Amino acid sequence: MSRIRKWTIIVSVLAIVAMILPVAAGAAPLSQGQSYTVQADDSLWVIAEKYLGSGAAYMAIVQATNAKQVEDASFAMITDAALIQPGWKLWIPSTEEAESLLAALPPAPAAGKRALDVTFSWPTYIDPAVGSDFSSTSSLCNLYDTLVFPNTAGGVDPQLAESWEVSDDGLTWTFHLKKGVKFHNGSELTASDVAFSMNRILEIGEGLAYVFLGTVESAAALDDYTVEFKLTQPSGLFLISLIRLYVADEEEVMANIVTPGPYGDKGDYGKEYLLTHDAGSGPYKVKEFPLEEYLLMEKNPDWLGTFHPNAPDEVRFIATTETATVRTLMARRELEITDQWQTIEALEALDAMEGVDVGAFPVLTEFYYMIHTKKPPTDDVHFRRAMAYAFDYAAAVALEWPGTQQSRGPVPAITAGHNPDVFVFQRDLDKAREELALSPYADQLDEYPVEVHWITDVPAEEKWALLFQANMADVGINAEIVGTPWMSVVEETASQELSPHIVTIYVSADFPEAGSLLKVRYHSDAAATWSQNEWLLDSDLDARIDDALVTVDQEARYAKYRDLQNYIMELCPSLFLYDQVQKQAYQSAYVDWPAARGEVIPVMGYTMFAPVIGVTGP
């Protein structure tokens, strides 16, 4: 059966299930699930008809059984719904669960289209002034163009900019644009749009704004194809930071503002419109975006760049990391690349499938246990150091993909400007107890439990949370672990009062130099974002980060980065677990994915730059 035909059946199921399941003759609604052993002459259609009231609901049994198999190997793994064997153990979901499972299936690609489907942790924000996480930056780089584009060597190449120059004092940057670049709506991209995009992100002050705040004083169009940026002080990172200035169509955004709004005569500055629409010129454009389900993008034939000969016609980012769903879709070749949050066990099972491999490559991402430094008892540095000494880093690394290394300080070891000599905590229970004895909370541990929020969208994180809980118990610290959806974590970390003692989060550098990560992780400008939970609010640290970032001489700048890493380790505001090896299963039989063969753009989001990915199947 072709992929298109399979999706047609699934979509048909979605249309009829709500009507069929509750009222099918001879099938009372199941109030709870049950196991079932396949008999001779059985088919999934027959079983679904008997227990769920409609044969068309067979995919709910596939989904439910595969989910059970992840937990219990006695259940079958169904990779082809047309082939089940007598004696197989299946799971029949309840009627309510079946409806939920069927509704969660992603929609079909258009007939005849070459499709690239990828799962992601959600939510996704496609407003250039709002989005900043992995799914959002993966979307933004496909929907929008930038003045310069990151390359695999850690530098930049021209994109919208044809050329540029900088004044002798380093305060004025002038860019000359390529002519004839078209937005998705057909209008021409000009210098005014570039200036508008910079001024908009600065005024809104969300998402990736911290990259430019305190550095860019103004942006102005000198003519249709020349844009000028005035800086408050010289910056060694300004050019590479422009990979995060996604250029939007000023006219389209301002034609869709909602008034009144928080930005005066600019109303809401187009934020509501850009939740579900794009205003870009990038290689893909929004086709559909039901916010909590998926983002569907279609190829922009007028893009200024060059596509892979087999680049996808449609790209769908799907809002799920659910193991059984991912496994089923991969087995049926209805998913090309998985999210990066699958468990080791899930990846090993996917790797065993014919035509599927796991792409694993180092990236500028580190796994942090972010410690709230303003909330008792973690407001005390000795208490924080006690936790840092009590944690078993070797055991944590052993839970990850082979080749993973313990983090050596606040930035990944492959980052330019990393300090190879920075102090690194190792498990030492004697030192942990010594530090704890110096804490004012030493005699009140029962009164001060430490609440740890791990991300339920990434189920594997629970393993590290449980390890942390056990390690802390060794020195008398009571750690309470709480599974928390990503959306809730985003909301919590925006407030000093709501932030828990510890949040477990992966953070990536926005460009391949230590300063970018040091700023997003520890500068007060980014304090009320998901990329921090520490709430250091340290003016001295802020000044030192700012000073390093304006140092134009590279060696001098790197020396300041190294000093900053030493200072941060003294404060012990985080546990630095490991540098991430990004790993995602993909359909190697018909997907040509540059990142999987080692051609990695080391910037968050760009491993999913769809124009360079080839799709020839299934």
Q: What confidence tens digit (pLDDT) does each residue in 26-83 have?
A: 445 667 889 999 998 888 878 988 888 887 788 889 889 988 888 888 998 887 666 7
pLDDT at 105: 66
Same domain, 427 and 517: yes
Same domain, 170 and 209: yes
pLDDT at 15: 39
pLDDT at 168: 93
Same domain, 397 and 528: yes
Please say if the pLDDT value at position 428 is more than 80.
yes
Give pLDDT tens digits for 460-483.
899 999 999 999 999 999 999 999
Cα 44 from Cα 288, distance rounded (Å): 32
CATH number of the domain where residue 598 is located: 3.40.190.10
Please say if the pLDDT value at position 241 is more than 60.
yes
351 inside domain = yes
pTM: 0.72
Q: Which of 4-18, 185-199, 395-409 has the highest mean pLDDT?
A: 185-199
What is the phi/psi pair of residue 267, to 5°?
60, -125
CATH number of the domain where residue 191 is located: 3.90.76.10
Same domain, 321 and 426: no
7 inside domain = yes
Mean pLDDT throughout 205-216? 90
pLDDT at 200: 98
Same domain, 73 and 153: no
Percentage of the residues of the chain whose pLDDT score is greater than 90: 71
123 inside domain = no
pLDDT at 459: 86
121 inside domain = no
Please say if the pLDDT value at position 17 is more than 50.
no
118 inside domain = no
Q: 216-223 and 226-231 as β-strands: parallel, antiparallel, unpaired?
A: antiparallel
Average pLDDT, the chain: 90
Same domain, 201 and 311: no
- Count: domains in the chain: 4
The continuous run of DSSP H or E covering 166 comes out as strand 161-166
Same domain, 568 and 592: no
pLDDT at 108: 54
534 with 493: CB under 8 angstroms? no
387 inside domain = yes
Classify each residue of 36-71 as buried b or exposed e, where b means 16 or more C-beta atoms within 10 Å of its C-beta.
bebeeebebbebbbebbbbbbbbbbbbbbbbbbbbe
What is the phi/psi pair of residue 155, to 5°?
-105, -160
In 294-448 the beta strands, taken as DSSP E runs, fall at 294-299, 314-319, 357-371, 405-406
| 17-21, 103-107, 430-434: range with lowest mean pLDDT | 17-21
Q: Name the band, by pLDDT with cuts 50, 70 and 90, for residue 242.
A: very high
Burial class, 537, CB count within 10 angstroms (exposed 0-12 / middle 13-18 / buried 19+): middle
Q: Name the band, by pLDDT with cuts 50, 70 and 90, for residue 512.
A: confident
pLDDT at 417: 92
416 inside domain = yes
Give pLDDT tens digits for 273-325.
999 999 999 999 999 999 889 999 999 999 999 999 999 999 999 999 988 89
pLDDT at 421: 97
Please say if the pLDDT value at position 101 is more than 60.
yes
Residue 574 tokens read as 């985080």
pLDDT at 29: 62
Please say if the pLDDT value at position 191 is more than 70.
yes
pLDDT at 22: 43
Same domain, 183 and 250: yes
Which 3 state secondary structure label does DSSP give 373?
coil
Same domain, 339 and 378: no
Q: Name the band, by pLDDT with cuts 50, 70 and 90, for residue 138.
A: very high
Same domain, 461 and 593: no
Same domain, 294 and 232: no
Cis preceding-peptide flag for 611 (omega within 30 of 0): no
| 18-22, 285-289, 352-356, 415-419: range with lowest mean pLDDT | 18-22
pLDDT at 358: 95
Q: Which domain holds residue 573?
A: 362-580
pLDDT at 2: 37
> What single letter denotes the amino acid at residue 20?
I
> What one-character-per-residue DSSP string does 233-259 give?
S--TTHHHHGGG-----HHHHHTT--S
pLDDT at 106: 61
Of 554 and 536, the structure prediction assigns the larger pLDDT to 536
Please say if the pLDDT value at position 113 is more than 50.
yes
Give pLDDT tens digits for 491-509.
999 999 999 999 999 998 8
Q: Name the band, by pLDDT with cuts 50, 70 and 90, for residue 333.
A: very high
pLDDT at 24: 39
pLDDT at 80: 66
Please say if the pLDDT value at position 20 is more than 60.
no
Same domain, 336 and 412: no
DSSP state of 218: E
pLDDT at 19: 39
Of 219 and 154, the structure prediction assigns the larger pLDDT to 219
> How far are the Cα atoms of 18, 29, 310, 352, 566 from residue 357, in angstroms, in the given order?
37, 40, 20, 8, 39
pLDDT at 495: 96
CATH number of the domain where residue 378 is located: 3.10.105.10
272 inside domain = no
Spatial CB neighbours of 535, under 8 Å, sequence gap ≥ 6 = 372, 373, 374, 375, 496, 499, 527
